[in-house]
Structure 1
């Protein structure tokens, strides 16, 4: 009888957790669709009415998702990171840059997934620490113009692979690279400098990584340098 009650309780807990996770994805999708356009965030209106983002974070605080459930785990933490960045900006609004706020990435904590963690914890420990996937750098949006564009939809477990590929292609065929064919030179976002080890995993070069996602391939003999990151706020 005890085993029966335990199994019922376990199934109930799993059902509630799955329901909360689905609710988080649905509400995140609605929030981003409403407040994000062409990669820019409407911080002013979110600041005026913070009820939506507070409710989102409340849902996220009670969710439990295991690393073994890879797609749900990655989708949850990518969305949680992006929403928490917006919350961090709102808490310091008006501000010109996330860097204008001390400890924005490494000291300010959020209650997410049953943990009290910083933005850096999400990126470096929970995502990069558990999965070797350089595409994370094209979907984690740090609130600045130099970041990849924030999309106006949630990252969903069933479409995550396609979304990761798409955003990597958007970045590497767009603003993350400046190609000068005459000078045989390519300038890349400083993200590729800061996380070089992620882009050269398995013995490939940075240009080889880029060419996996580029429509117009870059010759291997081009010199690779980096342009300065734009930390100005990605506001509408």
Structure 2
């Protein structure tokens, strides 16, 4: 299926630094809604979708739905303000709001991340592709993910994120890493050690002697305005 509608929006409303022009997305909300409805009506399946096509679908859905959720409550200081702090009934966090309908079934963002993307594929690079609308998240890519391009796109996201000294401060002696590597240590350690994973992409390699700590996560909204 085509992700052209979302690709156009990302090119138009995401800055070179990965910040999001939510006001611009609001102006183009009809196009965003049309894209989400396209996904809703074209759920992937194992029989005629490749793994990469399926993964691209769910990553794009997560990112588009996150933007859509922020727009429903915009302006907010943080995505974490959505949920219990603004009294959405029976909801504790924004990731638990069931507002995404795919083939007649309701999903929340946690369903997509944990029950589909992480559960179905042993692919830690997804953590650099999905964007939680916050400063410490990996930058939102300025193009939609496509099955045919996915492996290159994921590699580029991993390399950009790991070498971004705002999100990871790496020297030979110490590595102050994103909290993402702590929260999802099991994902990064499935196929190799965390150090080996980092060294696949880091310009500055680390050794067994390198002390690893984790940065505080900045949940401020990744708003370009």
CA RMSD of aligned residues (A): 1.4
Q: 1:150 aligns with which of 128, 133, 140?
A: 140
Q: Which residue does the alignment assign to 2:41?
A: 62
Q: Which residue does the alignment assign to 1:191?
A: 180
Give yes or no for contact 1:32–1:151 (8 Å, CA) kept in 2: yes
Q: How many residues align?
A: 211
- Once residues 98 and 218 of structure 2 are traced to their aligned partners in structure 1, the CA distance between those partners, rounded to angstroms, is 22
Q: Which residue does the alignment assign to 2:26?
A: 47
Q: Give structure 1 stretches of 5+ with no counterpart.
A: 1-20
Give yes or no for contact 1:57–1:112 (8 Å, CA) kept in 2: no
Query: Which aligned pairs between 1:162-201 and structure 2 lie closer than 5 A?
Result: 162-174=152-164, 175-181=166-172, 184-201=173-190
Give yes or no for contact 2:171–2:206 (8 Å, CA) kept in 1: no
Q: Report SS of the residue matched to 1:88.
A: helix
- Once residues 34 and 23 of structure 2 are traced to their aligned partners in structure 1, the CA distance between those partners, rounded to angstroms, is 18
- Summarize deviations over 1:95-132 as a string: whole Å, max 9, x none: 01110111311124211355310011111111111000
- Once residues 209 and 177 of structure 2 are traced to their aligned partners in structure 1, the CA distance between those partners, rounded to angstroms, is 15
- Once residues 12 and 102 of structure 2 are traced to their aligned partners in structure 1, the CA distance between those partners, rounded to angstroms, is 22
Q: Give structure 2 stretches of 5+ with no counterpart.
A: 84-92
Q: Which residue does the alignment assign to 2:55?
A: 74
- Once residues 132 and 206 of structure 1 are traced to their aligned partners in structure 2, the CA distance between those partners, rounded to angstroms, is 15
- Once residues 200 and 104 of structure 2 are traced to their aligned partners in structure 1, the CA distance between those partners, rounded to angstroms, is 37
**1:180 to partner: Cα distance:** 4.1
- TM-score, normalised to structure 1's length? 0.85
**1:166 to partner: Cα distance:** 0.7
Give yes or no for contact 2:26–2:71 (8 Å, CA) kept in 1: yes
- Once residues 105 and 158 of structure 2 are traced to their aligned partners in structure 1, the CA distance between those partners, rounded to angstroms, is 29
- Once residues 133 and 179 of structure 1 are traced to their aligned partners in structure 2, the CA distance between those partners, rounded to angstroms, is 23
- TM-score, normalised to structure 2's length? 0.89
